[in-house]
A and B are shown apart, each in its own frame.
Chain A
Amino acid sequence: MNYNWNWHIFFEPNPTGAGTYLDMLMSGLLLTIQTALLAWVIALFFGTIVGILRSLPSRTASWIGFGYVEFFRNMPLLVQLFLWFFVLPELLPRGAGLWLKQIPNAPFWTAAIGVGLFMSARVAVQLAAGIASLPRGQKNAATALGLTTAQGYRYVLLPIAFRIILPPLTSEFLNTIKNTSVAITIGLIELTGQARAMQEFSFQVFEAFTAATVMYLAINIVVVTGMRFLERSLAIPGYITGK
């Protein structure tokens, strides 16, 4: 292979005239983190609501939960982002569609919301499974003490269920971060986008993507470490994962 390695490329000025190629990648990294964090907040928020709906005895509630989950998890993420970004504005009345197209940073909001909703279906399924794994008597005990259904969830079922599903939630958080790279297709210049731009300008494809890989790895290691710390600090002495 006739390839000219040049690791020094990161410190050379980039074609935008503002800083080096490394600065370019760093701004992409920052955007990836911002998108992923917002997406994760959305995923947790809607995932919790839908997860609870799926665990309620009401038929209507579980049907709504079922519909939501199957809609968001059975379509490829790429298709969903195209749907929100390109199709939705055309389907809306003219005024609303136009407004949607002109929102500043539209790719960022679309990516964060799109990835967030996609991931929320997965969070919902896990939370519902976590709640289902609790002994039936826990709900009975909360109910018998006079707690309302909402209080039972707030003070008893959710705190235990979330502890149980914390390890798989870590994986979902990592998936959220990695899935933001799909947003390159709707014009979000996040880490993968910046790596591709760097490759196009400098022709140093391997250096660019090696750096991007290392950066993804670094964020994910931070997340894994953080989540493990969280798991340990929330562990219940003598119970399941606790010791």
Chain B
Amino acid sequence: MIEISHVNKWYGPSFQVLKDCTTRVAKGEVVVVCGPSGSGKSTLIKCVNALEPFQEGQIILDGIKVNDPKTDLPKLRARVGMVFQHFELFPHLRIIENLCLAQEKVLGRSHDEAMAKGQKLLERVGLTVHANKYPAELSGGQQQRVAIARALAMDPIAMLFDEPTSALDPEMISEVLDVMVDLAHEGMTMMVVTHEMGFASKVAHRVIFMDKGEIVEDALKTDFFGSPRSERAQKFLSKILSH
């Protein structure tokens, strides 16, 4: 589904953020990407739907080369859902309008069709009563669930999560993770940048550990948590799991 091969990316002439990153996410697979801040994990996930350009290597998404100038990027992006750390709901639109905008303008669905789909997804994330509110009137956890629903409204073939719970209060994290766990159980292809090791051990198939722009470890979940091969991953795990 997602094939990343030998991706190199520089900011400016000398600062390399991604070093020869190669990995793949199969259909229906849940892959968690973790690592210390500044390790390039968010940058990597943003390269997958070309929100960030990269200079070398290639990424193939459902058979389509992302970094090909001939690729219709808006069309390709519409097929991959993305959830951001800071939700990024559109503040001037009501919740239901947030869910309808891209359905109508990008997929060309009728307003009624988009509304029906939006209502169904709001119900799914348990926010039907808030349909006519504005994003700023909702809590962080609720906003992030809306953001997930907004991405799902496009019927994506895969979902990208960029630290979806990092900006949330602890008590709101679980309501967002619950939605993500459900998605994973339904067989959604997911690439998730997160520090939530509980989530990783519960639903991930594979865990990728990044450090200084490199993929240091790319292992099955059990191997990763059981016996990480690299010293850096061991250190990272012992630090975040020590509390």
Contacts and interface: CB of A to CB of B under 8 A. Distances in A.
Interface of A: 135, 137-138, 140-148, 151, 155-156, 159-160, 163, 236-239, 242
A144 B77 contact: yes
A135 B88 contact: yes
Contacts of B51: 140, 143-144
A160 B92 contact: yes
Contacts of B216: none
Nearest to A141: B88
Describe A's contact surface by its main secondary structure: helix
3 residue pairs, one from A and one from B, having the closest CB atoms: A146-B78, A238-B136, A141-B88
Contacts of A142: 90
Contact of A144 (B82, B91, B133): B82
B86 interface: yes
B106 A146 contact: yes
A146 B154 contact: yes
A147 B49 CA distance: 13
Contact of A145 (B77, B134, B135): B77
B90 A156 contact: yes
B86 A137 contact: yes
A75 to B, nearest CB: 36
Which of A138, A144, A159 gathers most chain B CB within 10 Å?
A144
Which of A141, A145, A236, A238 gathers most chain B CB within 10 Å?
A145
B105 interface: yes
A239 B134 contact: yes
A7 B151 CA distance: 69
A135 B86 CA distance: 10
B108 to A, nearest CB: 11
A145 B102 contact: yes
Nearest to A162: B92
B222 to A, nearest CB: 32
A155 B105 contact: yes
B150 interface: yes
B59 interface: no
B75 interface: yes
B74 interface: yes
B134 A237 contact: yes
Which of A137, A141, A148 gathers most chain B CB within 10 Å?
A141
Given A159-B92, A236-B91, A145 B78 contact: yes
B77 A160 contact: no
A80 to B, nearest CB: 36
A242 B150 CA distance: 24
Given A146-B77, A147-B102, A148-B74, A236 B150 contact: no
Nearest to B82: A144
A8 B225 CA distance: 94
A138 B77 contact: no
Interface string B1-25: 0000000000000000000000000
A141 to B, nearest CB: 4
B74 A239 contact: no
Contact of B105 (A143, A151, A236): A151
Contacts of B136: 236-239, 242
Nearest to B133: A237
Nearest to B88: A141
A70 B87 CA distance: 37
Contact of B91 (A151, A155, A160): A160
A239 B88 CA distance: 13
A141 B90 contact: yes
A140 B102 contact: no
Given A236-B134, A237-B137, A239-B136, A147 B74 contact: yes
